[in-house]
């Protein structure tokens, strides 16, 4: 259940960003629209890194739910922003929200990396050195 839930969460988030890319990457797009496709790609990368850093930290035994832009915040900000503002004011509000998510997701990913680094000092962080994990290549 938990595996499928987190997997489907990531798939739905990727689908949302692909939808935004489709919106900004329409035929005959102006330069600002092309620029936004790069911003959306950065937001997607940041979102996936936020999820990945938390999942990897949890796999290593840490509860790493720090940061400004967790999944719920991203979905509410972009989903509600899309529903309420849509392309009003030539999409300026939606563009600002996507830019904010692009910046804040990457900051959140860095916050999580730093958090694990600080809390993992003196703790073996690779699977091979954990006593509760079987060594690779051994029976």
Q: Which residues are catalytic?
A: 9
Give the DSSP H or E segment for 112. Answer: helix 92-119
Of the candidates 123, 91, 101, the one whose C-alpha atom is nearest the C-alpha of residue 26 is 91
In the chain, the N- to C-terminal Cα span, in Å, equals 29
Q: Rounded to whole angstroms, how far apart are CA atoms 84 and 69?
A: 20
Q: Give yes or no for a contact between 33 and 25, defined as CB atoms under 8 angstroms apart.
A: yes
The answer to whether 111 and 67 have CB atoms below 8 angstroms apart is yes
- Quote the crossing angle between the two packed helices 71-84 and 92-119, to the nearest 10°: 180
């Amino acid at each position: 259940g938990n595996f499928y839930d987190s997997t489907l969460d990531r798939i739905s988030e990727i689908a949302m960003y692909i939808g935004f890319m489709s919106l900004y990457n329409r035929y005959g797009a102006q330069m600002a629209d092309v620029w936004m496709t790069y911003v959306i790609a950065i937001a997607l990368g940041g979102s996936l890194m936020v999820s990945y850093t938390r999942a990897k930290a949890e796999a290593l035994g840490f509860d790493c739910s720090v940061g400004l832009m967790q999944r719920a915040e991203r979905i509410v900000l972009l989903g509600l922003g899309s529903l309420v503002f849509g392309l009003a004011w030539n999409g300026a509000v939606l563009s600002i929200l996507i830019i904010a998510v692009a910046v804040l997701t990457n900051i959140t990913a860095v916050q999580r990396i730093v958090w694990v680094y600080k809390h993992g000092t003196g703790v073996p962080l690779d699977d091979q050195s954990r006593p509760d994990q079987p060594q690779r290549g051994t029976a």
